[in-house]
Structure 1
Amino acid sequence: MKHHTIKLVLLPLLFLLHTGILLAQESLTSQQWQEDLDYLQERVHNDFPSLFKKIDQTQWDTEVAKFRDQIPNLQEHEVKVGLTRMVSLFEYGHTQITFSTLAKDAVLPINLYHFEDGIFIEGVQNNNKSVLGAKLIKIGNTPVADALKAIRPVVPVENDQYFKAYGLRFLTVPSILHAQGVIPEYSENVSLTLEKDGKMFTHTFTSVPLKEVSRDYGFTIPNENWISVRQQEETPLYLKKLQEKLFFFEYLEDSKTLYVRQSSVFDDKEESLKDFYKRLFAFIDANDVEKFVYDVRLNGGGNNYNNKPLIKGILARPEINKRGTFFYLIGRNTFSACQNLTNEIENYTEAIIVGEPTAENKNFLGDAKRVTLPNSKIHAYLSFAWWQDMPQWENKDWTIPHLAVAMTFNDYVTNQDPVLDAAVNYTETNFILNPMEHLTQLFMAGKYAEVKSEAVKIANDDAYRYYNFEEEFGAAGYRLFSNGNIEGGLYVLELITQVFPESTSALYSLASSQEQAKQLDNAKKNYQKLLALDPNGSLASTAKKRLAKLNK
């Protein structure tokens, strides 16, 4: 009888638990989703007003209101993607609804990587091995360039490098592809147009749960289910011991180069960073090191308080902290606390910086707090701490390398490392590390012919391809002009139009400055050039108005 009583008590309890699970799994109503959006909006305004740096409150609220009105007509996955877009509008990588929130249940079984020569399938599950190494051409009927534009608003994009490093994952999620209009109907089977060995073909992939994907640091980790296009007979230094150690160093006898890879600013489970630095500098003090190469291309951050011992150790050793000896390798995964480290390297050391730009703004919002939406229980991570290592007027979208080098698909497949090679093989030939400083010195010395010839050479040199010369030189021209050096300012602004003859913004800047300087004939001529170059562009309407006023 006692046993029977227990059963009678448990049955209603089990029924209630089962019913609760079913209710929890039911889709939310439009009103409940709108309540979540309202809660997010309220928390942002009340607790995270510092997020309004790249987008102002009015703009963001307008986008939120527009999305709120759309919710009743959206499917659940479209609402989740829409919420992610609202958070990504702040354009800070730490401020996000995580990728796994959207991709947890269904992701294509491929790993994409954006090499210098295109986007390729870097890794796949075994049952799709025929497409390994293929170049991505289309998703559904959408060309890859258009697909990238479509998904970009969902990614918490800090800059273009962040998108390269972390955004391509979003191309592999069917729910995002549908919500952003890349594919017309939601399906867990998605067809890609690919190119391999000179042949174009279509392949349909069936989605798998995200937990089945085998990758880290953007690259495939081969196992019994996943294969990588990279030849596995050897491992380049930047990938060596990547799954075993967060940091290591190796001495290259032939070139007397000490190579260091640090892929985190957190302590390793087997060694703290402080102890690692102590061991590293002891090795430097005891050995003949002609080149010191510090590689943070795969370093996504950690605790920036760990950076100090490294900086102190480098500054205490002038024999390695000198131009042509110390090389610092950065790339698309250099982010967060490693951006702080990069700022310190740039500010205080003599390092030549090599590679691709970083994924983080120089000054940035980090240290996100979790905000849980009341109905869906979706977690939004919102940043609150402003990290400012540079004066505000020196803030940039990223740190650019002194020497620009990137990896091609074939480099990766064959285990080549052109970035490391550029550092190891570098010889001091008075390479211009700071183009603006160099041109400014020539200008101040009155060497105007050299300013022009050097400006043209630098603007067309692939080693400076990440350097926004037009913007930097334009800002210098404006400073001269606004500080009373009218002739010098106009000279620089006119020079920009010669270096960049297709730039309407350069023509507009020159014409408007000439107008202010009462050089009206010259101003008219350059407004007319602008209109001839791009009669329907964004500056055309303003140029027409200015020209009409001058012709009165």
Structure 2
Amino acid sequence: MNDVAGRLRTLARARARSARRAWAEAAPLWDEVVTANPVNGEHWDRLAEARFGLGEYRAALPAYERVLALGVSPDRETSRPGAVPYQIARCRARLGDVDGALDAVRAALAAGFRDVQRVRGDEHLAALRGDPRLAELLGGPAAGGDGREEGWRGDLALLAREAKRRRPPARTREAEERFDAQVALLGERIPQLTDAQVFVELWRLLRPLEDGHARVLVPDPDHELNHLLPVQFYLFEEGLFVTAAAPGYEALLGAQVRAFDGTATEEVMTVVEPVITRDNDYGPRHNLPTWLRRTAVLHALGVTGDSAKATLTVTAADGERREVSLPAAAGAVDGFPAPPGWRFLPDTLSEPVPLSLRNAGCCYWFEYLPADRLVYLQLNNIMNDPDEPLADFTDRLFSFIEEYPVDRLVIDLRWNGGGNTFLATGLLRRLLSCAKLGRRGSLFLVVGRRTFSAAQNTATLIERYTDAVVVGEPTGSRPNFTGETAPFLLPHSRLRVNISDLYWQSSFPMDSRTAIAPDLYVPPTFDDFRSNRDPVMEAIRSCTEHLPGW
């Protein structure tokens, strides 16, 4: 352990040179680092990166092999599935070892390497071009076959292969055989289906993956499949209601939707619901209202007679039952609490808008309620606001809590659809170190159907490590779930498909819950919504008794 300070200085210098991409200076420093500490995978990864950056592939190769053996921390790009074997393939190809490079590509794909298109065009793999073994590994040509039917079948084959490679659709042979049978049947049906119907069936194919991040996206915002009705829906306990409307459709605010083209809303939801991907059965309660605005999808499912419009039967706010024909259009985006320029029902009411909806479009904010000695924190995205990074905001929040008479903190995640889980760790650390919030009954966590992805991880970590009282609805995801954004392109249709390839175990390994269920169940009702009441905060503010354990 001689000259510990010198070793730390060398490590700091090596990191600084790598940060500047000064590979010629960084490489010998990293050589010194791994000589002194050969058991840290991140150090070997930095050495490999520097040698690769210098074009010294023969020296980079053994370093990457050490990374493969030791692993790296999740903040490194090489922590992604299959990334290290892919780097090994690039080194071997540059060294002229075609067989070794192909073996490494095979290993990368088997490990779930995401970007298959990158393999096709990577200049470092030029030595593999034209090798039929590479074409076989990548699933054939870079584009779909000639003609519509063969093109769609090529897209279908690619989607099916990626679904199996990234996330096997089943743990049993029988279920995998069912998946294969669904793929084969869809391939046979393509001549009889419209493009919109194939699009819907691709979604249906992803449904068994139990992956709420899985989706099929149409990149062109003007495409018919992206057109939406000019009203926004929300599914309350009493049914489906219009909560926001584009200019010219304000008369529909507060209306209950009874039917689409004469088909009862409940029946329409029964038809649409099986197409929606999900982590659990609560998430679709958030997603379903947006699907009901997509007229091309409703038409493809046989619910409506026209792909560009729908006739809604509604019970208006004044109690009158009427029919109204609505056109779908591009630009009628989904937004929360309402798209820009639209009228949002709570803003039209005489009662004050509740805290939960006051700044729902902000990344995060808090307010002090001195009469209750309570701080209300609404965290709507796990990401950095350009005006104040989440870490700085968290420091300001807890400085306030320490300075003022605060007995309770409410963390509201009910509108939070995710972001970057790693940004939430600072909040968790401050919660655990705050003496004021150490008693049961001093911390409340609000969750709901929209609490998903990074927000689910945040909720899971708070529930696991604190004594928070959970209020609201079940979350839209599981405490442990598979989820990630890693889309790939279907070459014929140009659709972008996302299938997750990362497993997030934020809870204990034996946690098989499908959601975080609340201690206080407070489902949203339209009766409360149209009165600008937030029953969740009413329930929390009424929790003043010091019960056993509180």
Q: Same fold (TM over 0.5)?
A: yes
Query: Which residue among 311, 318, 324 is the counterpart of 1:191?
Result: 311
**In structure 2, do the counterparts of structure 1 residues 410 and 334 end up closer, same or farther at CA, with 3 Å as the change threshold?**
same
Structure 1 equivalent of residue 115 of structure 2: none
Contact 1:50 1:384 in 2 (8 A): no
Instruction: Give the CA deviation at 1:143.
Output: 1.4
Structure 1 equivalent of residue 166 of structure 2: 48
Following the alignment from structure 1 to structure 2, what is the Cα–Cα distance between the partners of residues 280 and 251?
10
Instruction: Give the CA deviation at 1:99.
Output: 7.3
Query: Which residue among 332, 347, 354 is the counterpart of 1:212?
Result: 332
Counterparts in 2 of 1:418-457, with a 5 A limit? Answer: 418-428=535-545, 430=547
Structure 1 equivalent of residue 94 of structure 2: none
**In structure 2, do the counterparts of structure 1 residues 60 and 264 end up closer, same or farther at CA, with 3 Å as the change threshold?**
same
Q: 5+ unaligned residues in a row in structure 2: which ranges?
A: 1-142
**In structure 2, do the counterparts of structure 1 residues 265 and 187 end up closer, same or farther at CA, with 3 Å as the change threshold?**
closer
Instruction: Give the CA deviation at 1:296.
Output: 0.9
The residue identity in structure 1 corresponding to 2:181 is: T
Query: Which residue among 495, 498, 501 is the counterpart of 1:384?
Result: 501
Query: Which residue among 303, 311, 316 is the counterpart of 2:433?
Result: 316
Structure 2 equivalent of residue 468 of structure 1: none
Contact 2:283 2:450 in 1 (8 A): yes
Query: Which residue among 126, 137, 140 is the counterpart of 2:247?
Result: 126
* SS at structure 2 position matched to 1:138: strand
**In structure 2, do the counterparts of structure 1 residues 163 and 34 end up closer, same or farther at CA, with 3 Å as the change threshold?**
same
The residue identity in structure 2 corresponding to 1:330 is: V
Instruction: Give the CA deviation at 1:134.
Output: 0.9
Counterparts in 2 of 1:213-362, with a 5 A limit? Answer: 213=333, 215-217=334-336, 219-221=337-339, 223=341, 226-232=342-348, 234-243=352-361, 245-362=362-479
* SS at structure 2 position matched to 1:220: coil
What per-residue deviation string (whole Å, max 9, x for no partner) do you get for residues 509-529 of structure 1? Answer: xxxxxxxxxxxxxxxxxxxxx
Following the alignment from structure 1 to structure 2, what is the Cα–Cα distance between the partners of residues 72 and 60?
20
Contact 2:169 2:176 in 1 (8 A): no
Structure 2 equivalent of residue 66 of structure 1: 185
What per-residue deviation string (whole Å, max 9, x for no partner) do you get for residues 174-210 of structure 1? Answer: 2211222222x3331211111123332211111111x
Aligned residues: 400
Contact 2:234 2:242 in 1 (8 A): yes
Query: Which residue among 484, 487, 490 is the counterpart of 1:367?
Result: 484
Following the alignment from structure 2 to structure 1, what is the Cα–Cα distance between the partners of residues 219 and 354?
30
Contact 2:354 2:533 in 1 (8 A): yes
* SS at structure 2 position matched to 1:309: helix
Structure 2 equivalent of residue 83 of structure 1: 202
Instruction: Give the CA deviation at 1:104.
Output: 4.8
What per-residue deviation string (whole Å, max 9, x for no partner) do you get for residues 484-532 of structure 1? Answer: xxxxxxxxxxxxxxxxxxxxxxxxxxxxxxxxxxxxxxxxxxxxxxxxx
Contact 1:150 1:181 in 2 (8 A): no
Following the alignment from structure 2 to structure 1, what is the Cα–Cα distance between the partners of residues 422 and 329?
39
- 2:304 is aligned with 1:179: no
The residue identity in structure 1 corresponding to 2:207 is: S
Contact 1:231 1:413 in 2 (8 A): no
Query: Which residue among 494, 498, 519 is the counterpart of 1:402?
Result: 519
**In structure 2, do the counterparts of structure 1 residues 28 and 164 end up closer, same or farther at CA, with 3 Å as the change threshold?**
farther
**In structure 2, do the counterparts of structure 1 residues 423 and 202 end up closer, same or farther at CA, with 3 Å as the change threshold?**
same
Contact 2:419 2:453 in 1 (8 A): yes
Following the alignment from structure 2 to structure 1, what is the Cα–Cα distance between the partners of residues 546 and 237?
26
Query: Which residue among 147, 155, 158 is the counterpart of 2:268?
Result: 147
Structure 2 equivalent of residue 109 of structure 1: 230
Instruction: Give the CA deviation at 1:128.
Output: 2.5
Following the alignment from structure 1 to structure 2, what is the Cα–Cα distance between the partners of residues 222 and 42?
40
* SS at structure 2 position matched to 1:249: strand
The residue identity in structure 2 corresponding to 1:242 is: A
Counterparts in 2 of 1:451-466, with a 5 A limit? Answer: none
Contact 1:106 1:174 in 2 (8 A): yes
Following the alignment from structure 1 to structure 2, what is the Cα–Cα distance between the partners of residues 103 and 336?
28
Following the alignment from structure 1 to structure 2, what is the Cα–Cα distance between the partners of residues 126 and 305?
39
The residue identity in structure 1 corresponding to 2:185 is: K
Contact 2:227 2:332 in 1 (8 A): no
Task: Report the TM-score when normalising by structure 1.
Answer: 0.68
Contact 2:218 2:496 in 1 (8 A): no
* SS at structure 2 position matched to 1:177: helix
* SS at structure 2 position matched to 1:82: helix
* SS at structure 2 position matched to 1:401: coil
Instruction: Give the CA deviation at 1:66.
Output: 1.6
- More off after superposition, 200-209 vs 99-108: 99-108
The residue identity in structure 2 corresponding to 1:182 is: V
**In structure 2, do the counterparts of structure 1 residues 312 and 432 end up closer, same or farther at CA, with 3 Å as the change threshold?**
closer
- More off after superposition, 49-58 vs 412-421: 49-58
RMSD, aligned CA: 2.4
Following the alignment from structure 1 to structure 2, what is the Cα–Cα distance between the partners of residues 231 and 414?
11
Contact 1:222 1:228 in 2 (8 A): no
* SS at structure 1 position matched to 2:216: coil
Instruction: Give the CA deviation at 1:222.
Output: 5.6
Q: 5+ unaligned residues in a row in structure 1: which ranges?
A: 1-23, 434-552
The residue identity in structure 2 corresponding to 1:227 is: R
Following the alignment from structure 1 to structure 2, what is the Cα–Cα distance between the partners of residues 161 and 310?
26
Following the alignment from structure 1 to structure 2, what is the Cα–Cα distance between the partners of residues 231 and 413?
10
Following the alignment from structure 2 to structure 1, what is the Cα–Cα distance between the partners of residues 486 and 282?
24
* SS at structure 1 position matched to 2:290: helix
Instruction: Give the CA deviation at 1:28.
Output: 5.7
Structure 2 equivalent of residue 534 of structure 1: none
Following the alignment from structure 1 to structure 2, what is the Cα–Cα distance between the partners of residues 175 and 212?
14
Counterparts in 2 of 1:449-488, with a 5 A limit? Answer: none
Instruction: Give the CA deviation at 1:302.
Output: 1.2
Following the alignment from structure 1 to structure 2, what is the Cα–Cα distance between the partners of residues 242 and 38?
41
